[in-house]
């Protein structure tokens, strides 16, 4: 296939006019077939990569059902999100084990939809004061043997774990996680600057939904945000749904950390793609009104988003983030953060041919190609 006439995403140059060729499932230097796809008036971008979301279309990753995970994967692919690393909640170990086993089984018997590249354990190693929508009854101090058991159940596909670094044993946990091939994210925390900085210097390289569920950046108490900024290996997540973060702060954070480090996530819930109403989430109930989801009876507590990552990409661009920077934050940077950048996140020769064509006028999806196969007309 040859894709011609579009503005193609480039990691260094932004958008450039060039052809993109595919041969089988890979991007190639020359077209492997006679098909020509006219991308005039389109941005040609890599398939998106979401490393922090919980579910969609009435299904939740934490339910650990094969059918639910398949429905989530199908929906995400329909939104141009081609690689997913869904997040589990703060739950008992037996349920976390079921989540990990379901993830491993899905990877073995993948029957379509976005590729489930692994799992993100957002809980249970968090702090009570900043648990947010997580269920406090199941919080647990950082526990290396538990992480080893969960990684074994997942057959090595736990990619990311969130930790509150002020909790006992966190430094040893961070170091052990690295040895298990798991990236560590700091989040749901009341850590001060010194504690957060020590966690990042110990090897944590990710910050879970920056600003949300952590102390604010203050001029005498910079906290997690200041510490993350000072360690260049750290990539911060940002929920760009228009609810969690003010547009000015989105612009400020991109300016502070730079396009090379920012990760946009959706943090989307099972209510994504569903009507307003009440939905279960991590052992609690949430209520959804428009694009705002909160804990039932606690309208001040945000519970995640009901916006897909593609919706968050559009929102970030509407907020004034340059389109190429927003695309990078939804593709290459998250892919790099979980170690799949060698095959996803850019349109370089040799990468998997997962490509989305977006109308330049309204950013609507014109075409999705997943590993060389057309998904939508």
Q: Which of 60, 205, 267, 325 is catalytic?
A: 267
Is 359 a residue of the active site? no
Q: SS3 string of the chain?
A: CEEECCEEEECCCEEEECCEEEECCEEECCCCCCCEEECCCEEEEECEEECCCCEECCEEHHHCCHHHHHHHHHHHHHCCEEEECCEECCCCHHHHHHHHHHHHHHHHCCCCCCEECCEEECCCCCCHHHCCCCCHHHCCCCCHHHHHHHHHHCCCCEEEEEECCCCCCHHHHHHHHHHCCCEEEECCCCCCHHHHHHHHHHCCCEECCCCCCCCCCECCECHHHHHHHHCCCCEEEEECCCCCCCHHHHHHHHHHHCCCCCEEECCECCCCCCCCEEEEECCEEEEEECCEEEECCEEEEECCECCCHHHHHHHHHHCCCCHHHHHHHHCHHHHHHCCCCCCCCCCCCCCECCEEEEECCCCCEEEEEECCEECCC
Nearest of 132, 165, 111, 83 to residue 368 by alpha carbon: 83
Catalogue the active-site residues. Answer: 267
């Amino acid at each position: 296939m040859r894709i011609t006439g579009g503005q193609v995403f480039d990691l260094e140059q932004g958008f450039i006019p060039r052809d993109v060729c595919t041969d089988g499932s890979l991007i190639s230097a020359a077209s492997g077939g006679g098909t020509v796809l006219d991308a005039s008036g389109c941005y040609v971008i890599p398939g998106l990569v979401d490393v922090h979301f919980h579910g969609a279309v009435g299904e939740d990753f934490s339910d650990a059902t094969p059918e639910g995970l398949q429905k989530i994967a199908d929906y995400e692919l329909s939104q141009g999100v081609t690689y997913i690393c869904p997040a589990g909640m703060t739950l008992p170990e037996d349920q976390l084990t079921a989540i990990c086993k379901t993830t491993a089984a899905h990877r073995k018997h993948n029957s379509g939809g976005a590729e489930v590249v692994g799992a993100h354990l957002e809980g249970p190693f968090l702090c009570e004061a900043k648990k947010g929508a997580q269920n406090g009854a199941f919080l647990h101090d950082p526990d290396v043997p538990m992480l080893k058991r969960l990684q074994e159940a997942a057959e090595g596909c736990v990619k990311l774990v969130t930790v509150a670094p002020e909790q006992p044993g966190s430094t040893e946990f961070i170091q052990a996680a690295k040895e298990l091939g798991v990236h560590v994210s700091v989040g749901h925390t009341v850590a001060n600057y010194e504690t957060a900085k020590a966690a990042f210097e110990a090897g944590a390289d990710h910050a879970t939904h920056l600003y949300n569920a952590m102390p604010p950046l203050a001029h005498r108490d910079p906290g997690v945000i200041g510490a993350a900024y000072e360690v260049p290996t750290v990539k911060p997540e940002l929920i760009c749904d228009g609810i969690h973060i003010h547009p000015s702060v989105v612009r400020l954070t991109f300016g502070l950390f730079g396009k090379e480090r920012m990760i946009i996530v959706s943090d989307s819930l099972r209510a994504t793609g569903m009507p307003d109403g009440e939905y279960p989430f991590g052992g609690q109930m949430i209520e959804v009104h428009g694009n705002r989801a909160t804990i039932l009876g606690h309208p001040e507590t945000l519970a995640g988003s009901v916006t897909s990552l593609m919706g968050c990409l559009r929102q970030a661009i509407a907020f004034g983030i340059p389109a190429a920077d927003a695309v990078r934050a939804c593709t290459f940077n998250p892919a790099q953060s979980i170690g799949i950048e060698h095959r996803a996140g850019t349109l370089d020769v040799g990468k998997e041919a997962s490509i989305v064509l977006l109308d330049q006028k309204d950013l609507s999806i014109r075409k999705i190609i997943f590993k060389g196969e057309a998904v939508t007309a």
